[in-house]
Amino acid sequence: MSKRDYYEVLGVARDAADTEIKKAYRRVAMKFHPDRNPGDKDSEDRFKEANEAYEVLSDTQKRSAYDQFGHSAVDGSGGGGAGGFGAGSGSFSDIFGDVFGDIFGAGRGGGRGGPQRGSDLRYTLEISLEEAVKGTTTKIRIPTMVHCDECNGSGAKKGSQPVTCTTCSGSGQIRMQQGFFSVQQTCPNCRGKGKMIADPCGKCYGRGVVEETKTLSVKVPAGVDTGDRIRLSGEGEAGQDGGPVGDLYVQISVREHPIFERDGKHLFCEVPISFADAALGGELEVPTLEGRVKLKIPPETQTGKLFRLRGKGVSPVRGGGPGDLLCRVAVETPVSLNKHQKDLLRELQQSLETPGNQNSPRKGSWFEGMKSFFGDSN
């Protein structure tokens, strides 16, 4: 009986990549494996056929010869002839383990805990609004784990070396078999390292790292805001088994300011003005982060009026033009009046309440709206 085309057996195109062929083989092999189909002769034949196709197509030289000359070029090369499953067939648990190994990165027979990158650290740096806007350089002290200089990070006492773990035989992984399922786990004895410390270092007690406090200089660029992060590469915790050092992330937190509020690149402040200045107009000094400036208040200014001082805000750290300073006017009601001042205000009040005057248009329209709401025609 003539053999089926190997590409057809696995269900892939002739130009399929190696990874596609491997995935296709696993899919077919898991479907027809005898462990999943006990006593099914057809499934056993289909499994042998898939195994034979994979052993040819997964080998670059064999695949090239097969593409040129067909089955005659590779007869006898396949492992799945009449004599059995061949070396590449394996058990269903092996194929199952391969699939999970690829998903979780352990791989078959691997999973050994090699060099591991050190942990990243985070430090919250609190600065003033002025420092955030103009930039600053400051020093911070952080506790961190560094390589033990006594054992050079090995964890073993000077003059000794770590020994192979007896539980996993140095693989860093153990396999647990249950029926046709095989689950690979990190060795609980050596925690995936494959090595054990028989004679631990007296300084780090076998950990390979010790805690130290170090002082670092942090340059804060102008324009940062709360939530921004500054990365200090290689200033995190030491790696394990010779792995690279992690990074330190400095998280910016800007303190509240007694005068200004910030919204992105704009600043806001509230400017109290007197009743007389609001009514008659005037000129006031208002603060900015660069010093005092004059602000002209026009007559008849109302509470809540915003005055924009262009370019007096913040230059964003990521570039772009500076924001603005917006001054919100708040008309202040006078307090602690003496008798003379009260008499003057009463006189002003009487003059303002003269019938037909237009001194309080908002007040008049509000009362008219209220009358309309209640249906009061008087």
Domain identity same for 280 and 322: yes
Q: With respect to residue 106, please indicate whether it lies within any of the assigned structural domains.
A: no
Helices 60-69/41-57 angle, 10° precision: 100
Domain identity same for 234 and 166: yes
Residue 37 has pLDDT above 50, yes or no: yes
Q: With respect to residue 96, please indicate whether it lies within any of the assigned structural domains.
A: no
Domain identity same for 180 and 152: yes
Contacts with 225 (C-beta within 8 Å, 6 or more apart), sequence order:
132, 252, 254, 262, 264, 317
Using an 8 Å Cβ cutoff, are 252 and 230 in contact? yes
Contacts with 202 (C-beta within 8 Å, 6 or more apart), sequence order:
150, 157
Contacts with 197 (C-beta within 8 Å, 6 or more apart), sequence order:
155, 156, 162, 163, 206
Cβ atoms within 10 Å of 154's Cβ, excluding its own: 22
pLDDT score for 367: 62
pTM of full prediction above 0.85: no
3-state secondary structure of 292: strand
Most confident listed range (42-46, 174-178, 229-233): 229-233
Q: Tell me: the pLDDT tens digits for 113-137?
A: 557 788 888 999 999 999 999 999 9
Domain identity same for 349 and 287: no
Residue 274: DSSP 8-state: E
Using an 8 Å Cβ cutoff, are 194 and 165 in contact? yes
Domain identity same for 60 and 146: no
CATH number of the domain bearing residue 309: 2.60.260.20
Q: What is the arithmetic mean of pLDDT over 188-202?
A: 81
Domain identity same for 79 and 131: no
Using an 8 Å Cβ cutoff, are 17 and 25 in contact? no
| Burial group, residue 240, by CB count within 10 angstroms (0-12, 13-18, 19+) | buried
Q: Measure the CA angle with vertex 330, ends 324 and 331; round to 5°.
A: 145
Domain identity same for 159 and 230: yes
Domain identity same for 178 and 159: yes
How distant, in Å, are the alpha carbons of 81, 90, 98, 319 from that of 182?
27, 13, 10, 56
Percent of the chain scoring above 70 in pLDDT: 80
Structurally, the chain folds into a number of domains equal to 4
pLDDT score for 373: 66
Domain identity same for 56 and 27: yes
* Backbone region of residue 365 per phi and psi (left: phi > 0; alpha: psi in -120 to 50; beta: other values): alpha
Q: Tell me: the pLDDT tens digits for 259-284?
A: 999 999 999 999 999 888 888 998 98
Q: What is the arithmetic mean of pLDDT over 308-335?
A: 91
Domain identity same for 157 and 279: no
CATH number of the domain bearing residue 51: 1.10.287.110
The domain of 298 spans 261-332
Domain identity same for 80 and 132: no
